[in-house]
Structure 1
Amino acid sequence: MMQQLTLNESFSVKGKGLHSGLNITATFNPAPENTGYRICRVDLEDRPVIPAVAENVVDTQRGTVLGKGDVRVSTVEHSLAALYAAGVDNCLIEVDGPELPILDGSAIIYVNEIERVGLKEQAADKDFYIIKEKTQFKDESGSMLTIYPDDGFSVECMVEYNSPVLPNQFAVLDDLAEFKQEVASARTFVFVREIEGLLNYNLIKGGDLDNAIVIYDQEIPQEKIDEICDIVKVPHMHLSKLGYINPKPLTWDNEPARHKLMDIIGDLALIGRPLKGRVVAIRPGHTVNNKFTRMVRKEVKHTEAQSPLYNPNAAPLIDVNGIKKLLPHRYPFLLIDKIIEMDQKHCVAVKNVTVNEPFFTGHFPQEPVMPGVLQVEAMAQAAGVLVLNYLEDPDKYSTYFLKIDNVKFRQKVVPGNTLILSVALTTEIRRGCAMVKGYAFVGEKIVCEAEFMAQIIKNK
């Protein structure tokens, strides 16, 4: 299990707001475990805080806008992408304006600052949400996001514009470790033909050639170009040919597609948990990104606990003979067959339930059901392997129940089922006592859960 991460110390960035044009300071602070990303408007009375989650998105026009009541914070996606890519789970962002500063239009300044202050491990485990089946969202415009099962997190992005300058482009990020080199410097972009309309909507007041790629892809009369230059307060320019009009060249030929990929990561950060899955996006935008994120987050919120991944073809971490070296249990009371995952805090065991189990003779002859108490015992045996495996002479010790709390049985376990037992220490082992939370799964369904305390005692 990986630990949750927060910033090692605070850092601040200052700059113009892309849409408001205001000078804004945003400070990124360490935050307690299990609090996620939160944004505090320090310029407002009572310093209201908005949790950065998908259901709090109130607008997606030219950026992601979070809101709670009358409070708004926009242009959050670049900073959230940088935090997510760095593996930061918990962060409090304090901002003294209605949006985060646009900086150079990319995420690279955030990435550099996160690297400068460093990260700090926290006590709580990182809570990945593992994609186990294809999930897809498609809107009426033809935009589509699909996420597939994968061992890590990756994104493919395809953009399509009816433009002679910006044709169809493709970008891919196979590993978040490559975010800084492959994505973070990609700048936001705008078409010259869009600028007047955006200004009429009271947007991009802080936009300029230093914080956005500007694309001239349709010929416009010189007087109209001069008028746009006057509105955005830049010197008149004479555009003799179509193309990119920034003094700074593109970092990559597909920089717009890479920026869209960055936006996807920032918007997916609003799920509230790190993902394991491969995202494929066709014609993405903040609106469809948020609809997709809301759909996934709804599934996340309704999933109390996920079944561990189980590949029956993989060699076990500890086979039944190894288990016998750790536990004193023997037939007919050895109730785990193998260990498939284990670290200092958690263990996953497998029990193949066959009709030959001796308890099925009387429980029940006409309808064999595994007794719930034995499901709890199987979880306890998995916990026993967890704690005894790290002792110097495990064969000299045994574990015994001291108490069992909050036991719930959700559905029957019957012959033919494969029982996946996931147990985790909820506190450090103190005075030979271990507090454990356990879940038993059949497929993706929880069949049993319990909390229990066990004591480690040296054998006589």
Structure 2
Amino acid sequence: MNDKQHTIKAPVTVSGIGLHTGVVSNMTFKPAPINHGYKFQRIDLPGQPIVAADVDNVVDLSRGTTIEQNGARVHTIEHTLAALVGLQIDNVLIELDGPEPPIMDGSSIQFVKPLMEVGLEEQNALRNYFEITKGLSFKDDSRGVEIAALPLDDYRLTAMVDYNSPILGSQHASITHMDQFVEEIAPCRTFVFLHELEALYKQNLIKGGDLDNAIVIVDRVVKDEELDYLSDLLKKPKVEVKEEGILNNTELRFKNEPARHKLLDLMGDLALIGRPIKGQILAARPGHAANVAFAKKVKKMIHEATIKNVPNYDPKKKPVMDINQISATLPHRYPFLLIDKIIHLDETTVTGVKNVTMNEPFFQGHFPGNPVLPGVIQIEAMAQTGGILVLNTVENPEDYWTYFLGIDKCRFKRKVIPGDTIVFKCELLAPIKRGIAKMSGQAFVAGQLVMEAEMSASIVKKDA
């Protein structure tokens, strides 16, 4: 799995009919900045409103997942989102001149291929993974549905289906590595049972559905007069089936293509959580309603974890900035260059790391025999972390100085000693105006808050 966030190198457009609305639309994937996530934009509506791909925006689950925000609605988004998740693309704006993404062939592959053709671009920020640290489950006994998430330092999904059908039987599909997605999951098409088909038409759904973008499973013997009726319904000159099987004898791309498509839907629906996941997802008889209900449980878990506001630091991962890059940006030198790594950096937030060792000179005189990191050193290290954030807003940051203007609401929660690793998080409280930056800062050791403060600083050009 990728460590860094990615977007696409250039816009790319796909066109086609929507499965349920029957409206032809053009959908353009466009590059987006760090931490943008997935957002749809209805460019056909007044004001061109944006709809965030967020589980809280789900408004309908009738044979697909529909979201709505700012007075705009986007239908059947799961195949589009699955393509982005499977390619590990983090930030994309999806412009749409209609109410629904094109259904294409009923899978994700015709989104995947053009995205791969334009290529992916790595961005200078780490992916904001949410790691499942304890078991989480969802159960709907009335439908025999169960979805569970287990801790894992990766993203793996398994879907199991059983429709009591002699044609499908019990099936399961798994993805154990994202590299499998393009070849093994993306080409798998949506499907429907014959007995559901007429009901869906009567519900004003699948207006754009035909035998080129969906598999119709025939689980009973069909008489000639019913085949004639189906040919009129599907606007086909002729439909046929060999006893029980697939309408028009369409060949499956995989023996377990329906189970693989259910896994694809699951990936797309879980994208609505809003963050990439590390964990193992096990789903029995999943569907859009269950997927979204489970996604809401995961988002609630994220919210509860986020309340603690503790940045995740994995020392095995490559930092956004190492000590050499920090030295090239900040003018500080020994013994006053106090941060060792930057592990996250975007327009409003920065996270830095300081490794506290006994070799630092201030310990010789600060409580000998009971070394404690001085509070002023903690504040200076946090200010230097914030300085990286401020300098990130200008071109040629080496041409600028940053100066402290003020400290407010400073609190020390516990002592910091040699051997500790401090993780500093600074966040802008307001946009920088006239070279003045105001930010909140927090310092954590082993997940516990040790210090916090609000700081003001000015940024000044060196030749000014």
Aligned to 2:20: 19
Please tell me whether the aligned partners of residues 7 and 120 of structure 1 are also in contact (alpha carbons under 8 angstroms).
Answer: yes
Aligned to 1:157: 159
Q: Structure 1 residue 448 and structure 2 residue 446: aligned?
A: no
Please tell me whether the aligned partners of residues 408 and 448 of structure 1 are also in contact (alpha carbons under 8 angstroms).
Answer: yes
Report the CA distance shift for 1:375/1:121 in structure 2 as closer, same or farther (over 3 A).
same
CA distance in 2, matches of 1:253, 1:231: 28
Deviations 1:86-110 (A, max 9, x none): 2222211111211100001111111
Structure 2: where are the runs of 5+ without partners?
Answer: 317-332, 346-350, 358-364, 388-401, 429-437, 458-464
CA distance in 2, matches of 1:155, 1:182: 13
CA distance in 2, matches of 1:173, 1:47: 37
Aligned to 2:80: 79
Offset of 1:263 from its aligned partner? Answer: 0.9
Offset of 1:266 from its aligned partner? Answer: 0.8
CA distance in 2, matches of 1:106, 1:282: 21
Report the CA distance shift for 1:448/1:39 in structure 2 as closer, same or farther (over 3 A).
same
Q: Give the one of 166, 172, 175 matched to 1:173.
A: 175
Offset of 1:130 from its aligned partner? Answer: 2.2
Deviations 1:241-279 (A, max 9, x none): 111235542111111111111111111111112222221
CA distance in 2, matches of 1:420, 1:438: 16
Report the CA distance shift for 1:414/1:446 in structure 2 as closer, same or farther (over 3 A).
closer
Offset of 1:220 from its aligned partner? Answer: 4.0
Aligned to 1:251: 253
Aligned to 1:9: 10
Question: CA RMSD of the aligned region, Å?
Answer: 4.2
Q: Structure 1 residue 210 and structure 2 residue 174: aligned?
A: no
Aligned to 1:126: 127
TM-score (norm 1): 0.74
Offset of 1:80 from its aligned partner? Answer: 0.9
Report the CA distance shift for 1:403/1:421 in structure 2 as closer, same or farther (over 3 A).
farther
Aligned to 2:431: none
Report the CA distance shift for 1:129/1:216 in structure 2 as closer, same or farther (over 3 A).
same
Report the CA distance shift for 1:401/1:238 in structure 2 as closer, same or farther (over 3 A).
closer
1:102 counterpart SS class: coil
Please tell me whether the aligned partners of residues 307 and 445 of structure 1 are also in contact (alpha carbons under 8 angstroms).
Answer: no
Letter matched to residue 298 of structure 1? K
1:39 counterpart SS class: strand
CA distance in 1, matches of 2:355, 2:150: 26
CA distance in 1, matches of 2:386, 2:368: 27
Deviations 1:384-429 (A, max 9, x none): 9xxxxxxxxxxxxxxx9957756665x94379999652247999xx
TM-score (norm 2): 0.74
Aligned to 1:185: 187
Offset of 1:373 from its aligned partner? Answer: 5.8
Q: Structure 1 residue 239 and structure 2 residue 228: aligned?
A: no
Report the CA distance shift for 1:122/1:382 in structure 2 as closer, same or farther (over 3 A).
closer
Counting aligned pairs with the same residue, the percent is 41
CA distance in 1, matches of 2:207, 2:294: 29
Deviations 1:275-324 (A, max 9, x none): 22221112111111111112222333451534436799xxxxxxxxxxxx
CA distance in 1, matches of 2:367, 2:290: 52
Aligned to 2:63: 62
Aligned to 1:229: 231
CA distance in 2, matches of 1:425, 1:5: 23
Aligned to 1:285: 287
Letter matched to residue 110 of structure 2? I
CA distance in 2, matches of 1:271, 1:113: 25
Offset of 1:377 from its aligned partner? Answer: 7.0
Aligned to 2:54: 53
Q: How many residues are aligned here?
A: 407
